[in-house]
Amino acid sequence: MPFNVRLLIVAISRPLPKPGVGSGGFLQVSPELPPQELLNSWQLCHEMVHLGVPSMPYEQHWLEEGIATYVEPLIRHEMGLISSSRFWAELAEGLPEGLAALRQQGLDGNHRWGATYWGGALYCFLADVRLRVRSHNQENLQKALRGVVAKGGNISVSWELTQFLRVADASVGGKQFHQLHSEMGPRPTQVKLGPLWKNLGVIPSSHGLRLQKANRDFVRRGIAN
């Protein structure tokens, strides 16, 4: 299937406040930025993930940003740019921001920063965990997202949420994406992260974070080892 998206590079003379990478709708890279720093920045990877996700209605902007937020460090970990400990530490630090923003209102139409980015990432993480628990890592979020791209879902097209949920569920079997949306979309969400971390063997310690054996550590190792 042709992927009719281009990465548009425009040279502009307006300098960024300091050499670096800025994002927000589009990516700005200052010409003075050393290539290694571009490689180290998360923004480039985050924006590239967006290319493989269809545009969603305003009410479900959380899904676009949640996928980019959850998948970006996974890609950078897979490329050897960040360690698994750092991946888990950043996730453990970020997800409570999502939970806090979902206490009063569910994901749909909740445009708080925490809900959009980390609430959306929480949705993706929980979908990934449930799929992996059920199938012993045979099914996962990556496979569902590949299914979305295979059905023509990318940034150049607009999809309704129902289309996304249908394609994602069909790609991995079951109803996990629908189910999780009915739990987190229309109503406030409370997820106990403590027991989940314990099951995965992600343990906060005085030195930051410890990864250890646990009854479902196969899920942790399947996600980022």
What is residue 62's three-state secondary structure? helix
| DSSP 3-state percent helix, strand, coil across the chain (nearest 5) | 55, 5, 40
What is residue 207's three-state secondary structure? coil
Angstrom distance (rounded) from CA 47 to CA 71:
11
Q: How far is the CB of 157 from Zn ion (least distance, A)?
A: 17
Which residue's CB is nearer to Zn ion, number 53 or number 211? 53
| Contact (CB, 8 A) for 188 and 112 | no
Q: How far is the CB of 20 from Zn ion (least distance, A)?
A: 17
Closest CB to Zn ion: residue number:
68
Which residue's CB is nearer to Zn ion, number 46 or number 151? 46
DSSP assignment, residue 60?
A: G
What is residue 219's three-state secondary structure? helix
Which residue's CB is nearer to Zn ion, number 63 or number 127? 63
Q: How far is the CB of 25 from Zn ion (least distance, A)?
A: 8
Q: How far is the CB of 111 from Zn ion (least distance, A)?
A: 14
Which residue's CB is nearer to Zn ion, number 53 or number 131? 53
Q: Give the number of other CB atoms < 10 A from CB of residue 215.
A: 10
Q: How far is the CB of 77 from Zn ion (least distance, A)?
A: 18
- At what angle are helices 141-150 and 120-135 packed, to 10 degrees? 110
Q: Name the site residues for Zn ion (rule: CB under 5 A).
A: 65, 68
Which residue's CB is nearer to Zn ion, number 68 or number 148? 68
